[in-house]
Amino acid sequence: MTAETIQNTIKTFRFSFPTCTNEDLLFKLEVPVEIPHAGSTRELVQRLINMFHIPVYLEDELNEKLAEFVYEETKKFHNERDETLLNKLKNGELNVEGTVKKWEKQFKENIVEYAEQKGSSEEEVFAAAYHKLVHSPALETILQVENSYATTVIDTLKNRDEDIKKLTERQTEEMEEKVRLLNISSTEEDINELATRHFEEQSFAAGRWGSQLDALKQAQRARHRAWLMDTLGQYHEWDQALHTPENSPLATFCPSPLAARSAAVPRPALEESFTIHLGSQLKQTHNVRIVAMDMMQLCTVDHNNPLDASRRLQTALSLYSSELSACVVVSAGGPSQGGGTPLAALQVATAAADHHFPALDAQLRDIEERLKEPVEQRNISVGRGKPGVAAGDVFITRHSNLPDVHLVFHLVGDDAALRAGDITSRHPAMLGLRNVLKAAACNDVSSISIPLLLRHELSEETTAAWCLRRAELVLKCVKGFVIECGSAGGGACLATIHFVAPPNTAPDLFAALANLLPTIFRTSNPVKAKTKPA
Amino acid sequence: MGVDEDGYIFAACTFFAKNHPGEMCGSNGLPLTPSSVTILGQAQRLLHLEHPNLCTYLDVIRCKHERIIVVSEVIGKSLNDFKSKFSFDQIMNIGLQVANGLNFLHKQDIMHRTLSDDNILIDNYGYVKLFNYGMHYMTKGGNEIPFPLGLPRYLSPEIILGGGGPSADVWSFGIILLELCIGKLWQNLRPGPILRRILTLVHAGNTAERIAREHDHYDAYKQVPETLRNIIEKCLKIYPSGRATFSELVHDLSALDSKQMVEVKRPQGLLGCKLQVLYHLWQLAGGDIQSELKKNCLIKNSPPILSMPIAILLDGSTIGGKTGALFDRRIAMYSLKLLKQRLSHISPHDFYPLMHERKKEYDAVTLPKIIRERDTEYQFYRLLWFNRLLHGYPHTASYIRAEAEIDIPPLVRGDVWAALLGISGDIEDQYERIDKETPTPTDRQIDVDIPRCHQYCWLLSGERGHRMLKRLLKAWLLTNPQYVYWQGLDSLTAPFLYLNFCNEARAFACMQAFVPKFLHKFFLKDNSSVIKEYLAKFWQMTAFHEPELATHLHEIHFVPELFAIPWFLTMFSHVFPLHKIVHLWDALLVEGPSLPLFMGVGILRQLRDTLLSSGFNECILLFSDLPEIDIGECVKESIIMCRSSPRSISYRRFTKETISKDPMDLIEVPMDVLFSEICPRISLSDFFSLMCQEKCCVIDIRSNLLFDKSCIDGSINVPYSGVHLAQRELRALGLRPQRAIADAVRLNKNVVIASAEHETAQLFSDYLVKCCVPRVCILHGGIQALHANVPSLFTVPPPRNNGNK
């Protein structure tokens, strides 16, 4: 608050001492000294003595004089500045109201005693409640409830799709019929009229389903939250002895035939993992894993599959902990531009109601809204012609209903170079990746999945050599970023890093990629049992 | 000072440092230091302030998410907690003590800025201490924190306007005195109105009177003794230039103060220990600062997912996301209950160990150092003992060395190191005389290296750490003009700075003493011969203790020049993190300059299996990023190796030790001879003492004719002419020599080669190393020299039946 206004000044220290032959003739010493003086005056005296060959018998005197000089000048410096301020105040030259308001704001926004809102926000209370409950015997019930909610939504979605499909079929038939009878019993006008009616019907149906879905999700969310808070109350009453909550909404569902489905989930066949050490002197341990799969596999869940339920369990347990999981997806454009394949896939994946955060659409809309101004300002300041987000920008969505991740970092980047050409470590996408890792480390993300090639699928232009080149660049950059994050934050952040190669990576290419890892990272030595000579 | 028997003795408060917005870089192009790191570095100086009217700072902790926790001594209760009014005599006495504390702070160039009724503490006997007076100092005037400093009603007008020097504290002090006399001011007002009222005071003639009138306490104010009123009015002058200074106030108040302070006896036993020691032991006993803060809701962990930003732009600026929690001025208090319970069985006698008393043996001594350092009781005894010894330094230097051989308590490591290096005298004065500011040509390189030196250590990564490291390096270079700045010197200085963060002069003195002892001539502009000799000796030690490994590395041409230069140039400080270096150097400082050679061997020994199965390229890769090394093990082994090796085999010419001219000790050989030798040479006197202790097996490789005439008593004759160097099996030497060598290996004896001419001895010793025989060395000067100097060792062998078997 105050130091911004402090401007240092230079004052001249004058000292004189007699010449050796004539007592009246004086050597004069003038030294500019910065006020307030940051260093030690005694050290300055030593430098003066050395530089100007001042006789040592003057040392004590010089020490005393200089200290006094600095003390007096500093005092004068402060007093003069304050006097000017106070005089201005007396003469009414200062904006008193503005200053007071500024202080008031500072106190109100930063110090508990003066803050308006005390205690935790509703969000935090719910977070604490949920976190407590998922770490209690109620966990299983909660997951089942959430699962059945999700199933309901998915079923409704299915019904909608069917309904709309039927409608479309009927309309197509009708239209064909009409077209066939063109100029016989119907006119062009009739057809136009019919088309209009069809369109209205379609939008009406879509609207009806939409509102029905919204209502369903809203109701689910409200009911779920109320039930959770309620259960927490009981949990406190019974203390630790809670087994299964009695009033669970499960009663209204028929138990889903969980075990009926086959348990075999196609897990990625191509994967390899390493434990690595990073850092030159102080080593930090991380796990790195390379895997060939679709990034969206982390986000899709089959609600009828018991194995997937266990995947959900992981994220539910750690949702409000400080061990978050995240993934990075390369997005074609900003939050509103549809974003290309990953975003569309994410839309599908997040179809079920999110009981903790706003729905994906709402989040994206909110981000779009709030991004507009800062992005525009930025674009103006760097002189960028195109409006909207640029490559390297990142937006972040939060999810509670995905199986493997809590956070999705959408890294904007879709240019020809990124897709197929060669990029350097100074490419915006790499800088964006650095920001992602930094944000992840600062916000307690302990596990993050990164697209190894910064693209999600292979195509003809991506040769094996290109893939290796790109992978090497990404790995090396990530290594640097992680070291940087580790030294800034401290502690074992980003404990696990997954590098995700496109799902259609050929086995031999994958093997080559996996071989890159131990050459770039130092893998840790296995612990060997000591064999003592007999 | 009065300490309540069961009362709280320290307290903690916590706050968040400022977050740097976006991606900003400092002037050196590197990312900005986080504010919390700056605060941590800045606060270190506060930890060393001691004054009877100040609560001692005990610790500053940096946690995740830029959180800072400050731990400090605490006594009695605060002025705010006293409900009854004080008499005017009491007020003057309190005022005097507060002024004393503040006077001391101002002398140290520290402004308080946050003086308020809740950080002035009074104990049962009326002693006053200021609590948490360093917020302004540690946060660099509030620049590193997001919240404003101080309480509104104690802010002086000029601070509100954005100015304020030390005399702002005088104003706050005046307000405190006034409050003590007429009651709390501006109660129930919000900050805005209070500040406005303070600002309108500038138009008043007599500020104190005006305030009293405002509160309808004018009559009460008039009843205050005139002397005290004068003092209050001197403090509450609108213009800072008109206000009294604290030295004047101390003078005035001591003239008025009539209160006789109660003499409080120094507490005995545990509470008689230094607070820093108590805090350290309390932590070892399981005391947890954070848990109490959490209990009092001072640390609230908001789930991180709720505070995620919504976007990050390319330039690194984040959008959305919540910032840290609000600043809560409350504190959490801690008592010593835990520690008292832990140490309850210790007799009062043990608190005062006598120096010449036979010491108790502790069973913990056998445990690894890392565990001992965490053992409350063990550390308790060690600290008491070390503090006593350090008190007597330099007269107790030999005792300290003997104790340091066992281990060094981390809390006093800085002091013990200084003692081991023989630091004494007025080091501050000497350090002051060195010019650390004037730019020199090496500054550029130093500036480049410092931001890369042990930056995981928050103390060293802060601005203060950088500045001090630079000053130390410059000072050292200036005092040692014969030396130049070699990269690595920064790493070498780092441990000293780390242990003496608030005592730059001592860090410098340690450095100044350390280099000639361990790294004599290493920093010469042309240091190639020094380093070459060191590496050659290291290689010989490797052959001596690890013959198999040495043979393998020789064969793949993996020479120490490729990896070991930074090890020795920085005494391993460039290779290991600080917490390992301190253990390494603990041993180094006690054992002396030959230990590093064996430490190098110790490291190789840990990597032995990997190295034996690696070729040249793998070895290069392995050492380019050294794997984890168990330092405890390495130190232990290297000490064993060092002590069991004859002194003369690790002899180097480039040391500061005086060289004996006695032909018995003489061992120097020309450098090129040294470089060609795989096995070290042993001096005659070392050989003699080994013979006396029967710790060596002598192999005489002269012809049997010469051997039969006269030989060393107990030696074995293996005529060189009969040895097939290509056959790498001991069996080829014949049964008797084979058995003798096997026995020697089994009993850990040294194998000494004695011959008439040196070339054969060298070739034969190489041969033995290749046969994986450890502890092989060559008798310097051979048989002739030994015969000339110690003829008594010679005898005539009994005649053999059939010559050699």
Residue A531 has pLDDT above 60, yes or no: no
Residues 47-66 of B with CB under 8 A from A: 62, 64-65
Q: At what angle do helices A306-318 and A139-180 cross, to 10 degrees?
A: 120
Which residue would you say has higher pLDDT here, B369 or B417?
B417
* Helices (H), ranges, B702-757: 704-709, 735-746
Q: What is the per-residue pLDDT for A93?
A: 87
Token output for B675: 């470089």
Residue in this structure with the two tokens 């392995």, named with its chain if needed? B622
Q: What is the per-residue pLDDT for B345?
A: 87
Residues 226-285 of B with CB under 8 A from A: 238-241
Which residue would you say has higher pLDDT here, A232 or A254?
A232
Q: Determine if the peptide bond prior to A36 is cis (ω within 30°).
A: yes
**Chain A CB within 8 Å of residue B348 CB:** no
How close A203 comes to chain B (CA, Å)?
33
Residues 14-33 of B with CB under 8 A from A: 23, 31
This complex has an ipTM of: 0.86
Instruction: Tell me the average pLDDT across B547-570.
Output: 94
Q: What is the per-residue pLDDT for A488?
A: 60
Backbone angles phi, psi at A13, to 5 degrees: -90, 125
The 8-class DSSP code of residue B140 comes to: T
B432:A43 CB<8 A: yes
**Range with lowest mean pLDDT among A530-534, B83-87, B616-620, B794-798:** A530-534
CA-based nearest residue to A212, from A252, A159, A264: A159
Token output for A328: 């990075």
How close B503 comes to chain A (CA, Å)?
14
Cα dist. B770→B75, B725, B747, B777 in Å? 70, 10, 20, 13
**Range with lowest mean pLDDT among A5-14, A426-435, B336-345:** A5-14
Residue A354 has pLDDT above 60, yes or no: yes
User: What residues does each domain of chain A span?
Assistant: 3-112, 124-252, 271-523
Instruction: Tell me the average pLDDT across B640-649.
Output: 92
| Cβ burial, residue A319 (10 Å; 0-12/13-18/19+) | buried
Residues of A in contact with B304 (CB under 8 A): 322, 324, 443-445
How close B163 comes to chain A (CA, Å)?
6
Instruction: Tell me the average pLDDT across B399-423.
Output: 94
For B48-51, the CB contacts below 8 A with 24+ separation are B48/B502, B48/B503, B49/B108, B49/B110, B49/B134, B51/B100, B51/B101, B51/B104
Instruction: Report the DSSP pairing between strands B750-754 and B776-779.
Output: parallel
Q: Which residue of B has its CA nearest to A433?
A: B314
Rounded distance between C-alpha atoms, residue A333 and residue A389, angstroms: 7
At residue A251 the predicted structure's pLDDT band, cuts being 50, 70 and 90, is very low
Residues of A in contact with B625 (CB under 8 A): 277, 280, 522
Sequence letter at residue B629 = I
Residues in chain A: 534
How close B769 comes to chain A (CA, Å)?
19
Cβ–Cβ < 8 Å for A341, A456? yes
Q: What is the per-residue pLDDT for B28?
A: 59
Residue B318 has pLDDT above 70, yes or no: yes
Residues of A in contact with B195 (CB under 8 A): 99-100, 103-104
Cβ–Cβ < 8 Å for B174, B206? no
CA-based nearest residue to A62, from A35, A36, A38, A33: A33
**Chain A CB within 8 Å of residue B365 CB:** no
Give me the CATH topology for the region B671-795. Answer: Oxidized Rhodanese; domain 1 (3.40.250)
Which of A59, A66, A100 best probes binding to B when mutated, by most B CB atoms within 10 angstroms?
A: A100
Instruction: Tell me the average pLDDT across A403-426.
Output: 81
Nearest by CB to A100, from B141, B195, B578: name it: B195
At residue B423 the predicted structure's pLDDT band, cuts being 50, 70 and 90, is very high
Residue B799 has pLDDT above 90, yes or no: no
Q: Which residue of A has its CA nearest to B462?
A: A488
Residues in a beta bridge with B132: none
Torsion of CA B442, B444, B447, B448, to 10 degrees: -110
Residue in this structure with the two tokens 């890093």, named with its chain if needed? A497
At residue A175 the predicted structure's pLDDT band, cuts being 50, 70 and 90, is confident
Sequence letter at residue B107 = K
Residue A492 has pLDDT above 60, yes or no: no
What is the CATH class of B431-518?
mainly alpha
At residue A475 the predicted structure's pLDDT band, cuts being 50, 70 and 90, is very high
Q: Name the average pLDDT for chain A.
A: 81
Residues of B in contact with A83 (CB under 8 A): 239-241
Q: pLDDT exceeding 70 applies to what percent of chain B?
A: 96
Q: What is the per-residue pLDDT for A341?
A: 61
**Chain A to chain B, count of Cβ pairs less than 8 Å apart?**
255
Cβ–Cβ < 8 Å for A130, A145? no
Token output for A332: 């074609």
Residue B323: Cβ within 10 Å count: 14
Rounded distance between C-alpha atoms, residue A227 and residue A234, angstroms: 11
Q: What is the per-residue pLDDT for B92?
A: 92
B307:A443 CB<8 A: yes
Q: Name the average pLDDT for chain B.
A: 89
3-state DSSP call for residue B225?
A: coil
CA-based nearest residue to B537, from B405, B667, B690, B684: B667
B165:A120 CB<8 A: no
Residue in this structure with the two tokens 């970023």, named with its chain if needed? A481
At residue A339 the predicted structure's pLDDT band, cuts being 50, 70 and 90, is low
Residues 6+ apart with CB under 8 A from A361: A347
User: What residues does each domain of chain B span?
Assistant: 8-256, 353-420, 431-518, 528-645, 671-795
Cβ–Cβ < 8 Å for A30, A17? no
CA B446 to chain centre: 22
Q: What is the per-residue pLDDT for B263?
A: 82
3-state DSSP call for residue A354?
A: coil
**Chain A CB within 8 Å of residue B705 CB:** no
Instruction: Tell me the average pLDDT across B199-219.
Output: 90
Q: What is the per-residue pLDDT for A180?
A: 82
CA-based nearest residue to B153, from B102, B223, B80, B46: B80
Residue B601 has pLDDT above 90, yes or no: yes
**Range with lowest mean pLDDT among B30-34, B289-293, B624-628, B676-680:** B30-34
B303:A439 CB<8 A: no
Residues 174-193 of B with CB under 8 A from A: 190-192
Token output for A178: 């009409």
3-state DSSP call for residue A184?
A: coil
pLDDT one-digit tens code per residue, A191-213:
888 888 888 988 888 888 888 88
H or E element in which residue A10 lies: strand A9-18
Nearest by CB to B166, from A78, A100, A394: name it: A78
Task: Report CA Rg, chain A.
Answer: 34
Rounded distance between C-alpha atoms, residue A516 and residue B617, angstroms: 17
Residue B550 has pLDDT above 70, yes or no: yes
Instruction: Tell me the average pLDDT across B741-757.
Output: 91
Q: What is the per-residue pLDDT for A112?
A: 84
Which residue would you say has higher pLDDT here, A116 or B46?
B46
In the CATH scheme, what is the homologous superfamily, with its name and number, of domain B8-256? Answer: Transferase(Phosphotransferase) domain 1 (1.10.510.10)
Q: What is the per-residue pLDDT for B599?
A: 96
Residue A489 has pLDDT above 90, yes or no: no
Rounded distance between C-alpha atoms, residue B97 and residue B144, angstroms: 30
3-state DSSP call for residue A22?
A: coil
Q: At what angle do helices A188-238 and A139-180 cross, to 10 degrees?
A: 170
Instruction: Tell me the average pLDDT across A114-124.
Output: 74
At residue A266 the predicted structure's pLDDT band, cuts being 50, 70 and 90, is low
Q: What is the per-residue pLDDT for B29?
A: 61
Residue A368: Cβ within 10 Å count: 18
Residues of B in contact with A6 (CB under 8 A): 141
A124:B302 CB<8 A: yes
Rounded distance between C-alpha atoms, residue B101 and residue B113, angstroms: 13
Q: What is the per-residue pLDDT for B239?
A: 92
Residue A253 has pLDDT above 50, yes or no: no
Residue in this structure with the two tokens 């242990």, named with its chain if needed? B499
Nearest by CB to A107, from B152, B454, B627: name it: B152
At residue A2 the predicted structure's pLDDT band, cuts being 50, 70 and 90, is very low
At residue A29 the predicted structure's pLDDT band, cuts being 50, 70 and 90, is confident
Q: What is the per-residue pLDDT for A521?
A: 84
Rounded distance between C-alpha atoms, residue B213 and residue B196, angstroms: 16
Rounded distance between C-alpha atoms, residue A159 and residue B96, angstroms: 83
Cβ–Cβ < 8 Å for B203, B121? no
Residues of B in contact with A395 (CB under 8 A): 310-312
Q: At what angle do helices B246-256 and B226-235 cross, to 10 degrees?
A: 170
Rounded distance between C-alpha atoms, residue B111 and residue B121, angstroms: 18
Give me the CATH topology for the region B528-645. Answer: Cyclin A; domain 1 (1.10.472)
Backbone angles phi, psi at A186, to 5 degrees: -130, 155
Residue B11 has pLDDT above 50, yes or no: yes
Rounded distance between C-alpha atoms, residue A139 and residue A131, angstroms: 10
Give me the CATH topology for the region A271-523. Answer: Leucine Aminopeptidase, subunit E; domain 1 (3.40.220)
